[in-house]
Amino acid sequence: MVGRRVALVTGAGSRSGIGRFSAAALLDAGVDVALADVDVDGAITNAAELQAVAGKAIGVSMDVTDERSVHDAVRTVERDLGRVDILVNNAGISDPTPLQEMRRPVFERVMQVNLVGGFVCLMAVIPGMRERGWGRVIWISSLAGKQGGGFFGTAAYAASKAGVIGLCQAAARELGPYGITSNAIAPGYVHGTALVGERARELDEITKSAAPLRRSGRPEDIGAAVRFLASDDAAYITGEVMDVNGGLYFD
């Protein structure tokens, strides 16, 4: 990195989630980080714990389904950290409802958080990135978005994460001339994140038996990919969808 960049990581309120570990990886790389979440207490706690180890971190309140909340959060980050150079669109939800039982409000809720929320966050940070002629946008998609769900997500989740890939690549085309890259990461099952109980154990066993590397993902694995895509080493990479799944799926 050149100087101290500033990153905004959404969905970063969980202690064991990809958002926290992405923030930790960026802090370790010398980036100041704002951790944003609708669970603002979780975001503030994570920021305080991470800042005790490295760099400068703040927690901010953000509901990605609320455009005003997103813009307020971005203004807070700009006030406290100076700007937003790196956006990690990580906030997301899932729903276990099968397609034939799903109702429109459930489908729309997943799309609003996972896809529309990412769009709103992107639009809030583009002006500053364009003005500075430098930016990194990193989207957390999913294996589900590349293979229509299956074990790793039902229809709404798969559709939203496929949409994330399309939006990521459209942004890469349109924002590249302004020095802004846009890339996605497509994890498989990541141990310790949203799923718990029997479903988590089932996916863990599927991954261990089917993935060439014979283990589930860890949040640190995704954080390492985020750190790379945010770095100057990735300056000539844009529109890429990086599979981080132990070889469970590749194309």
pTM: 0.93
Q: Give the range among 29-33, 36-40, 149-153, 234-238 with minimum mean pLDDT.
A: 149-153
**What letters, b where the CB count within 10 A reaches 16 and e where it falls short, cover 10-42?**
bbbbbeebbbbbbbbbbbebebbbbbbbbbbeb
52 within a domain of the structure (yes/no): yes
- Please compute the mean of the pLDDT values over residues 34-50 and round it to a whole number: 97
pLDDT in tens, 209-225: 677 777 776 889 999 99
Query: What confidence score (pLDDT) does residue 25 get?
Result: 97
- Please compute the mean of the pLDDT values over residues 180-195 and round it to a whole number: 82
Three-state DSSP string of 76-117: HHHHHHCCCCEEEECCCCCCCCCHHHCCHHHHHHHHHHHHHH
pLDDT at 2 over 60: no
Catalytic pick among 157, 178, 236, 249: 157
Residue 140's DSSP bridge partners are 185
143 within a domain of the structure (yes/no): yes
pLDDT at 24 over 80: yes
User: Which comes out higher in pLDDT, residue 182 or 94?
Assistant: 182
Residue 70 sits in a domain whose CATH number is 3.40.50.720
162 within a domain of the structure (yes/no): yes
pLDDT in tens, 49-75: 999 887 899 999 999 999 999 999 999
Query: What confidence score (pLDDT) does residue 217 get?
Result: 66
Q: Which helix (H) or strand (E) holds 187?
A: strand 180-187
78 within a domain of the structure (yes/no): yes
Instruction: Find the domain containing 143 and state its range.
Output: 6-240
Structure token digits, residue 236? 């000539």
- Please compute the mean of the pLDDT values over residues 87-103 and round it to a whole number: 92
Number of compact structural domains in the chain: 1
Residue 244's DSSP bridge partners are 187
Kindly state the DSSP code that residue 162 receives in the 8-state scheme: H
229 within a domain of the structure (yes/no): yes
178 catalytically annotated = no
Kindly state the DSSP code that residue 191 receives in the 8-state scheme: T
Look at the alpha carbons of 230, 235, 238, 242 in this order and tell me if their dihedral is positive or negative: negative
**Which residue carries 């109980």 as its tokens?**
197
248 within a domain of the structure (yes/no): no
Neighbour count for residue 70 (Cβ, 10 Å):
23
Q: 245 pLDDT band (50/70/90 cuts)? A: confident
246 within a domain of the structure (yes/no): no
